Amino acid sequence: MSTHMSAARAVGEENVQPPATLTLHRASADPWALAIHGGAGGRILELGEQADYASGLREAHAAGEAVLSGGGSALEACCAAVQSLEENPLFNAGRGAALAKDGRAELDASVMDGASGLAGAVLASQHAKSPVRAARAVMEHTDHVMIVDPPAELVREWSLEVADPEWFVTERRLAQLRRLLDKSESGPRHGTVGAVAFDANGHLAAATSTGGISAQDVGRIGDTPVIGAGTYARDGLAALSCTGEGEAFLRGVEAYDVAARMRYAGCDLPSAVAATIEETLTEKGSSGGLIAVVPTGEMVIAHNSPMMFSAYRDGAEVRVHL
């Protein structure tokens, strides 16, 4: 079932699209739910690109579902799905991520476990092959929530795979960076990947990973690794992962704002999401979207950008939106 909310408004010379909120009721007997996203933006895909992106989303969703169907945790399902997207150079995370002005990939990721309330994040990571796994390691193997660019030695201590910084850089992203720096290209430069899940034991989790904005200043950090802004999960309430213009999500504390509307104001998930996007994004002239799941298995995918890559199960079918 779907509901579409809010109205389009003009911002400068651009038309920010209305947030399209899609509410999904689990139509199968599965006691779990999973939704993933591959970023929000406005670029129109060619036909061949559509097939490639759709395939990548389906593979990532299948990786997460395999965990859930085997009785695994929501946290592991989210990490498996996000890691799959990190390894696919089409998406802005891991290998093939957006590059900073100096030509390097500075990778951000975070996870939050709704059961324990614990969270972990890495910022401007350059050595962990899977930033989302490194974020989970921060949560599970340290007393911290955030670590900036964990060194290769620490990544190895966490028993995670290390990659040379050059491994993350692709010719496609280098070409994009050159066009941006010489002013021959403009338009959306951001993107993020993420997952939210509800497992058979009744637990929620969320994970998010990104390369940030193409041609961003060195050291810039967006919302992705900031708990409550780009990622949030709390058992009995909701799990959320965001994508879009990171500064707006930081200012609006987007993920937690949705959860707070539900927890303190008694809003249901669709109305909380619609109100948050309207007030913290659309009214501010910013764009992006989010995915969310609640303990009933109900999921929402919402955005006010022209498009948002996502995948979710609807009964017997896995649906992909580009």
- Residues marked as catalytic: 192
DSSP string, 78-122: HHHHHHHHHTSTTSSSSTT---BTTS---EEEEEEETTT--EEEE
Q: What residues does 10 pair with on adjacent strands?
A: 15
DSSP state of 188: -
- Say if residue 265 is exposed, middle or buried (CB neighbours under 10 Å; 0-12, 13-18, 19+): exposed
User: Cα-flanking dihedrals φ and ψ of residue 139, to 5°?
Assistant: -65, -40
Distance of CA 174 to the CA centre of its chain: 23
Residue type at 273?
A: V
Let me know how long the chain is: 322
DSSP 24-43: E---SS-S-EEEEEEEEE-P
